[in-house]
Chains A and B, each alone.
Chain A
Amino acid sequence: MKDKTIKISNLARIEGEGALFVKIKGDAVVDVRLEIFEPPRFFEALLRGRAFGEAPDITARICGICPVAYQMSAVHAMENAFGVEVDGPLRALRRLIYCGEWIESHTLHVYLLHAPDYLGYADALRMAKDHPGIVERGLQLKKAGNEIIRLMGGREVHPINVRVGGFYKVPTKSELAPVAERLRWAREAALETVRWTATLPVPEFDQDYEFVGLRHPFEYPFNEGRLISNRGLNISVREYEDSFVEEQIPHSHALHSRFKNRGAYLVGPIARYSLNFDRLSPIAQEAARAAGLSAVCRNPFRSIVVRSVEILQACDEAIRIIDGYERPTRPAVPIRPRAGTGYGCTEAPRGILYHRYRVDDAGVIQEAKIVPPTSQNQKMIEDDLRRFVQANINLPKEKLGLQCEQTIRNYDPCISCATHFLRLHYDRE
Chain B
Amino acid sequence: MGQGRKPKMAVWKFASCDGCQLSLLDCEDELLKIADRVQIAHFLEASRAVVKGPYDLSLVEGSITTPSDAVRIQEVRRASKFLVTIGACATAGGIQALRNFQDVKEFISIVYARPEYIQTLNTSTPIADHVSVDFELQGCPIDKRQLVEVISAFLHGRKPNTLSHSVCVECKLRGNVCVMVAHGTPCLGPVTHAGCGAICPSYDRGCYGCFGPKETPNTSSLSRWWGRLGVGEQDLVRVFRGVNAFAEAFRKESEAHERQNDQDQ
B29 touches A422 (CB 8 A): no
Contact A57 B111, CB 8 Å, known A46-B99, A160-B200, A405-B48: no
Q: Which of B164-218 contact A (CB under 8 A)?
A: 196, 199-200, 202-205, 208, 210
Which residue of chain B lies nearest to A362 when distances are taken between CB atoms in the complex?
Answer: B234
Bound Cα distance A270, B153 (Å): 44
The 7 A-B pairs of least Cβ separation, nearest first, read: A64-B19, A123-B47, A12-B48, A122-B49, A157-B141, A45-B107, A143-B28
Which residue of chain A lies nearest to B196 when distances are taken between CB atoms in the complex?
Answer: A155
Which of B38-46, B125-133, B222-230, B246-254 sits within the interface?
Answer: B38-46
For residue B14, which residues in chain A have a CB less than 8 angstroms away from its CB? 39
Contact A158 B48, CB 8 Å, known A42-B108, A65-B19: no
Contact A158 B120, CB 8 Å, known A64-B20, A125-B35: no
For residue B31, which residues in chain A have a CB less than 8 angstroms away from its CB? 125, 139
Bound Cα distance A370, B1 (Å): 47
Bound Cα distance A17, B94 (Å): 18
For residue A39, which residues in chain B have a CB less than 8 angstroms away from its CB? 14-15, 65-66, 69, 120
B203 touches A161 (CB 8 A): yes
Per-residue contact bits, chain A 135-173, to B (CB 8 Å; 1 contact, 0 not): 110011011001000000011111011000001110000
Q: Which of B116-175 contact A (CB under 8 A)?
A: 117-120, 124, 140-141, 143-144
Q: Verify if B25 is at the interface (C-beta below 8 Å from A).
A: yes
**In the complex, how many angstroms separate the beta carbon of B20 from the nearest chain A beta carbon?**
7
Q: Verify if A320 is at the interface (C-beta below 8 Å from B).
A: no
Q: Verify if A279 is at the interface (C-beta below 8 Å from B).
A: no
A422 touches B19 (CB 8 A): no
Chain A: number of interface residues, binned into ranges: 35 or more
B17 touches A416 (CB 8 A): yes
Residue picked from B35, B95, B119, most chain A C-beta under 10 Å: B95
For residue A128, which residues in chain B have a CB less than 8 angstroms away from its CB? 32, 35
For residue A161, which residues in chain B have a CB less than 8 angstroms away from its CB? 203, 205
Q: Verify if A184 is at the interface (C-beta below 8 Å from B).
A: no
A41 touches B18 (CB 8 A): no
Known pairs A128-B35, A248-B114 / 17 extra A-B pairs, C-beta < 8 Å: A12-B45, A39-B65, A39-B66, A40-B118, A45-B110, A57-B208, A57-B242, A64-B20, A122-B48, A126-B49, A135-B32, A140-B28, A154-B199, A156-B26, A160-B203, A405-B48, A416-B16
For residue B48, which residues in chain A have a CB less than 8 angstroms away from its CB? 12-13, 122-123, 405
B46 touches A248 (CB 8 A): no
Partner of B18, one of A12, A15, A48, A54: A15
Q: Verify if B255 is at the interface (C-beta below 8 Å from A).
A: no
Chain B: number of interface residues, binned into ranges: 35 or more
**In the complex, how many angstroms separate the beta carbon of A77 from the nearest chain B beta carbon?**
18
Q: Verify if A326 is at the interface (C-beta below 8 Å from B).
A: no
B29 touches A143 (CB 8 A): yes
Binding site for A on B (CB under 8 A): 13-23, 25-26, 28-29, 31-32, 35, 40, 44-50, 65-66, 69, 94-96, 98-99, 104, 106-108, 110-114, 117-120, 124, 140-141, 143-144, 196, 199-200, 202-205, 208, 210, 235, 238, 242-243
For residue B21, which residues in chain A have a CB less than 8 angstroms away from its CB? 64
For residue A113, which residues in chain B have a CB less than 8 angstroms away from its CB? 46
**In the complex, how many angstroms separate the beta carbon of B133 from the nearest chain A beta carbon?**
20
Q: Verify if A278 is at the interface (C-beta below 8 Å from B).
A: no
**In the complex, how many angstroms separate the beta carbon of A132 from the nearest chain B beta carbon?**
8
**In the complex, how many angstroms separate the beta carbon of A57 from the nearest chain B beta carbon?**
7
For residue A63, which residues in chain B have a CB less than 8 angstroms away from its CB? 17-19
Bound Cα distance A123, B47 (Å): 5
Q: Verify if A50 is at the interface (C-beta below 8 Å from B).
A: yes
Bound Cα distance A414, B141 (Å): 18
Bound Cα distance A13, B49 (Å): 10
**In the complex, how many angstroms separate the beta carbon of A311 from the nearest chain B beta carbon?**
15
Which residue of chain B lies nearest to A247 when distances are taken between CB atoms in the complex?
Answer: B113
Bound Cα distance A29, B44 (Å): 27
